[in-house]
Structure 1
Amino acid sequence: MREEDAMAPVTSWASDGIPSVSYALTDHTGRVLASRASHTVYYSASTVKLGVMLAAVLAAERGEFGGAGLGAELECRHEFVCGEVGRGHDGDDVVAETFVLDPDDRDAAFPPDGASASVAELVRMMIVRSSNEATNVLFDRLGAARIAEAFALCGAASTRMERRIGDPCAVRAGLTNETCAADLVAIVRALVTGAVTNAEHAEWMRGVLAGQEHPRIGAVLPSGVPWGSKSGDVPGIEHDVAFIGDGDARRYLAVCTRGFEPEQGREVIRAVAGALQTVAG
């Protein structure tokens, strides 16, 4: 392979092929310590799942799952309604088209159809190993409006989740999921500080993020530094957002990239995180 071919920008449905790198680093109060194009909007990939987690916690706090809270059980499934169920001109229900995720997007460890999992378990699957099936089950239970409300409470004005993961009908209808680096740090800060939830749930969400199995930023942090994160990727897109440290020393870092091969994008994230460690402290 020629060197120029190996380094060619990646073009996909989520990437226009123009390489782009954005980041935002804040302190524990949200004060910006370093940034670059932090309000540039990208396809969110799996980072948008942070809003689903927050919406689930808020629903539990409001009693929408009954007395079981996050322990409420939902039915697991691998097939989902494609787009929205409508009604015909005569008022009859329209037979809904359904979809299953592409093989590369499936969670091999997701429970079988008809099994039950608690909301808390589904959130962990969604964040820790980025289960798309868990995300879609929660999305259907919570609804797009609840998730939009969660992002609004964090002040994440450029972030939206309008559709299920992998929903081809919604994609054809122009619905998308988007975010930016500035929003991602605001979301994670709101999650882990208890700014929009009670302290118990904030601690629980910190623990969920700390279980991340696909670290980018966390991979270059010194041993012993507490951290938690949510990464996301699709062809041409690689993102990560993390909290780093504890208490007043805690920092929040998000890095968003577009137009790179997977390992190139991940190396960009690691390089930015490594370079900013002196700022992060």
Structure 2
Amino acid sequence: MVDAGAAPLIAWALVDADGTVLAEHESARPFYAASTIKLHVLLAALRAVDAGDIELDATIPATRTFGGVDGSAFTLAGDHLDPTHPADGTPVSVRELLVRMIDRSSNEATNTVIDLVGLDAVEAVIEELGLRATRAERRIGDAAAIARGFTNETCAADLAETMRRIVRREAGVPAGPCSKAGLVAGELGTTAETETFVGPGTTAETETFVGPGTPRGSGAPWGPKAPARKPGPGLLSPASTGLALDALRAQRMRVILDVLPEGLDAGSKSGEVDGFRHDVAFIGDPCSEDLRCLAVMTSGLTLAEADDTIRRTARELLGNLAD
């Protein structure tokens, strides 16, 4: 992971429908994940739905207060808050929480889902995907966990593969979920993703990120590129794939999506904290061999500079798929 105050860095990975790397640059370098880690939380939750451990229509009281790693409670505040999140105590369905976590990057929804499935379940899907630089070690805004060095990080190669595995239905699996189901039509505004935290008795502070972890499967920083993975069955049921696709298509925080022509099937998940800006998108029909998944990660740039860099990179890499 790169210090936000360091020289600007950019990494990217572009993969096709079967996971073959089409283009990459520093793709195994770990960065602070920001809200892109919510893709892994989504996958863990939908796996639990498919296993029958969670009901999408079950309701949970909305809250902005969560348990920290030290056992004390912390309450999200300031830039962490989703202004459209239901008032504390209001029943919210699991389905709505999953959508809010992706389309507007709600931190309240994310922490609630983590409480529902557990961080161990998120780490389990990371292991199942064979991701080398991804770790999900804490809830968003947990000051005690941050102080102890717990982090959430990933790399461009891992993000592109995660997106591919979430949206892709492999050979022999019905293609029905790849059509738009309209599950999230008409949703509301956006949420800032700046990582500030407020602990009990403290004022808001900006997070700092120190010390990269060692990528999985590598004894050296950013080790050798992993071989392309063989196609297998889809990770999710048709219904869960459909929910994920619709939430990604409804993305409010558009970066890569802004360079794509109208009518092209696409969806994305971005992440941003001070000094870090990332975006990962699927481009094209997920049921088609023409599917592409692109992840671009940056550090050391202003938000405007980073977004310009990500869009320019997407145009260059996607060629005639871009506008």
- Taking structure 2 as the reference length, the TM-score comes to 0.76
Taking a change above 3 Å as real, the CA distance of residues 204 and 32 of structure 1, as seen in their structure-2 partners, is same
Matched, 1:233 2:219: no
Q: How does 1:1-281 map to 2 (within 5 A)?
A: 15-65=4-54, 69-85=55-71, 97-194=72-169, 195-246=234-285, 247-278=288-319
For residue 29 of structure 1, what is the amino acid of its counterpart?
A: D
Residues 165-215 of structure 1 deviation map (CA, whole Å, 9 limit, x = unaligned): 011000001100000000001101110114211222112211110010001
For residue 251 of structure 2, what is the amino acid of its counterpart?
A: Q
Q: Distance in 2 between matches of 1:219 and 1:197?
A: 28
Q: Distance in 1 between matches of 2:168 and 2:289?
A: 11
The residue aligned with 2:221 is none
Q: Distance in 2 between matches of 1:140 and 1:273?
A: 35
Of Structure 1 and Structure 2, which has the larger fraction of its residues in helix? Answer: 1
Deviation, 1:82, is 2.1
The residue aligned with 2:217 is none
The residue aligned with 1:5 is none
Deviation, 1:102, is 3.5
For residue 138 of structure 1, what is the amino acid of its counterpart?
A: V
Larger deviation, residues 271-280 vs 146-155: 271-280
Matched residue SS, 1:165: coil
Residues 213-256 of structure 1 deviation map (CA, whole Å, 9 limit, x = unaligned): 00100001112111000000000000000000111111000000
Q: Distance in 1 between matches of 2:15 and 2:251?
A: 21
- Taking structure 1 as the reference length, the TM-score comes to 0.87
Q: Distance in 2 between matches of 1:260 and 1:190?
A: 29
Q: Distance in 1 between matches of 2:320 and 2:40?
A: 28
Contact 2:260 2:321 in 1 (8 A): no
Matched residue SS, 1:156: coil
Larger deviation, residues 37-46 vs 14-23: 14-23
Matched residue SS, 2:82: coil
Q: Distance in 1 between matches of 2:58 and 2:44?
A: 14
List alignment gaps of at least 5 residues for structure 1. 1-12, 86-96
Matched residue SS, 2:144: helix
List alignment gaps of at least 5 residues for structure 2. 170-233
Deviation, 1:14, is 5.6
Which ranges of 4 or more aligned residues in structure 1 deviate by more than 6 Å?
none
Matched residue SS, 1:264: helix
RMSD (Å), alpha carbons: 1.5
Deviation, 1:61, is 1.2
